[in-house]
Structure 1
């Protein structure tokens, strides 16, 4: 999977937005001590469950691939002139 040069920032944004999303959906909320890996996997699985993103094939499930999926998801949610999309 090709990485966007702003993918790390997109993943951070996806975790922030995804955290609010899972809380509003009633899936629970994150604690300060929750690991990055746990947050990525939890948000990824919630978005797959709600059919907002296509699941990865079983052999492709890994944290980097889930992060990539989250980055693609949040990129579609942001306005076209957002700095993370325009690269400014």
Structure 2
């Protein structure tokens, strides 16, 4: 859409994606990306599905859980430096 309107990345617009590393590397220019700990995310996802089932099987109320994962920002060619003011 940017290219179709005659704009270029990162000169006219910076682009940041939320995607895995290999996907961000496949674009031109390479995408700045927010990535997360995939293994830990998978473990948390499985636990979020299994824990309520296990609690119900034991006749207990499932407990709500707040899980915080630390994302990482990997800056690549799709973002420009902020302009100086």
TM-score, normalising length: structure 1: 0.29
Name the structure with the higher strand share. 2
Q: Give the TM-score of the pair, scaled to structure 2.
A: 0.30
